[in-house]
């Protein structure tokens, strides 16, 4: 199989002489069986040989690298490609190819999984969050990045934690980051302390040790697009192509139903109820809700399923357009929105998928829907979150605006 993808004899000899050499023929066959393109297979073979020549790869290849080793390898690739300059910039397959090669070794039994490095305390916290709060995998992953650093700094004996230590850690995590990322760090530590208190593993007074991030509640305005701009973005997707059919169905879900990127990425084929014209959405806290499926949205999804969705065993509704045909991720939904907005050339306050959610809510309010109804459609847990959209209903705001006092001269 190696001869099929690497024509040059010297290059082929170098690959066979690498530590990955004994596995490359089988690796190439494994990739081909999963529908990878020939160009991708060749780049992955080169990536496998390159990976096994570094210190990150175990000798022999019997244990997969751990998380820290992969981070080191990715940073090394970034430094190497940066030195090469734009003309010889690595296309990105070096890291993906190495990860896929190690996955192949693990699936075939040639390499064992890396030793478990997740602290037992963090595992218990994640189980508690899933069991009692229904927290999703994405949020837990964000929290884990913060809490690993906390445990490395303060240790795994929470009964020894002090308020000063926790405050210093949170302030250090918040320094230099955006407000949203700083809030994530604060939220992770606050929830971790609540878990420890519930488990009677630390003093109860520590729940007051974590300061809240300063900020004005509901001070911002929703960032939205006009209905004409949304229509232009949707029209820029060509449903005659596989990618265009998928993009249009995805964008209609966020533009007409106000779904989050994670909602779209998590849709399963079993969530579509064609008989009753509805779809099931699982929110951030795993709460299920059935939403109506408009004719336009349903037709776009059906067109994608019939003509453009790859044949794959995955139950996800929307799949990536190349092998191994896995479900799309939240960031790919946002990338779809950005690509469509740029292609349409319309002005937009932001380039992610969330701008369509804001646009849908704003239009619903202008069409006369109540804030309670909009909150139900958007699945807001707090009515104050939905009240943000009242700020853009200029017509109703004019009805309650007080006249300018005659005795006061305007500036």
366 is catalytic: no
Selected catalytic residue, list 50, 248, 256, 260? 260
Rounded CA separation 106/199 (Å): 36
**Is residue 83 annotated as part of the catalytic site, yes or no?**
no
Residue 327's SS3 state is strand
For 207-215, the CB contacts below 8 A with 24+ separation are 208/163, 209/163, 209/166, 209/167, 210/166, 210/167, 210/170, 210/186, 211/167, 211/170, 211/171, 211/186, 212/186, 213/174, 213/179, 213/182, 213/183, 213/186, 215/179
Whether 284 is catalytic is yes
Of the residues 284, 303, 366, 391, only one is catalytic, namely 284
Candidates 50, 256, 357, 379; catalytic one = 357
- Sequential DSSP letters for 249-269: HHHHHHHHS---HHHHHT-BG
DSSP H helices, 53-112, are 67-84, 93-107
Peptide bond into 210 cis (omega under 30): no
State yes or no: is 181 an active-site residue.
Answer: no
- Residue with the two structure tokens 């024509």: 7
322 is known as an active-site residue: no
- Which residue of the set 248, 354, 358, 379 is catalytic? 354
Look at phi and psi of residue 9 and say left if phi exceeds 0, alpha if psi is from -120 to 50, else beta: alpha
Give catalytic status of residue 389 as yes or no: yes
Active site residues: 260, 284, 354, 357, 380, 389
């Amino acid at each position: 199989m190696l001869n099929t993808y690497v024509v040059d004899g010297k290059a082929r000899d170098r690959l066979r002489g690498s530590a990955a050499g004994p596995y490359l023929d089988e690796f190439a066959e494994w990739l081909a069986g999963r529908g990878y393109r020939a160009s991708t297979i060749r780049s992955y073979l080169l990536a496998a040989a390159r990976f096994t020549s570094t210190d990150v790869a175990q000798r022999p290849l019997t244990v997969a690298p751990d998380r820290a080793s992969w981070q080191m390898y990715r940073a090394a690739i970034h430094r190497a490609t940066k030195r090469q300059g734009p003309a010889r910039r690595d296309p990105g397959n070096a890291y993906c190819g190495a990860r896929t090669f190690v996955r192949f070794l693990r699936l075939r039994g040639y390499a064992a999984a890396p030793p478990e490095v997740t602290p037992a305390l963090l595992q218990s916290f994640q189980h508690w969050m899933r069991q009692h709060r229904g927290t999703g995998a994405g949020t837990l992953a964000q929290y884990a990045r913060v809490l690993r650093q906390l445990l490395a700094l303060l240790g795994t004996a929470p009964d020894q934690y002090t308020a000063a230590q926790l405050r210093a850690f949170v302030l250090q995590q918040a320094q230099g980051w955006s407000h949203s990322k700083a809030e994530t760090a604060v939220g992770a530590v606050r929830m971790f302390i609540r878990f420890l208190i519930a488990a009677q593993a630390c003093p109860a007074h520590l729940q007051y040790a974590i300061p809240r991030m300063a900020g004005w509640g509901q001070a911002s305005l929703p960032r939205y697009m006009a209905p004409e701009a949304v229509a232009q973005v949707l029209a820029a997707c060509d449903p005659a192509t596989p990618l265009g059919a998928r993009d249009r169905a995805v964008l209609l879900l966020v533009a007409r139903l106000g779904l989050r990127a994670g909602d779209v990425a998590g849709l399963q084929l079993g969530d579509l109820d064609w008989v009753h014209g509805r779809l099931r959405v699982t929110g951030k806290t795993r709460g299920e809700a059935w939403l109506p499926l408009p004719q336009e949205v349903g037709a776009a999804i059906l067109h994608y399923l019939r003509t453009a969705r790859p044949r794959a065993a995955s139950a996800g509704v929307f799949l990536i357009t190349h092998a191994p045909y896995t479900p799309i991720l939240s960031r790919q939904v946002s990338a779809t929105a950005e690509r469509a907005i740029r292609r349409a050339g319309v002005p937009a306050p932001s380039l992610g998928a969330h701008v369509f959610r804001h646009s849908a809510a704003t239009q619903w309010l202008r069409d006369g829907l109540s804030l309670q109804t909009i909150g139900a459609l958007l699945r807001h847990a707090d009515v104050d979150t939905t009240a943000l959209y009242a700020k853009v209903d200029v017509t109703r705001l004019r009805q309650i605006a007080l006249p300018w006092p005659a005795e006061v001269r305007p500036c």
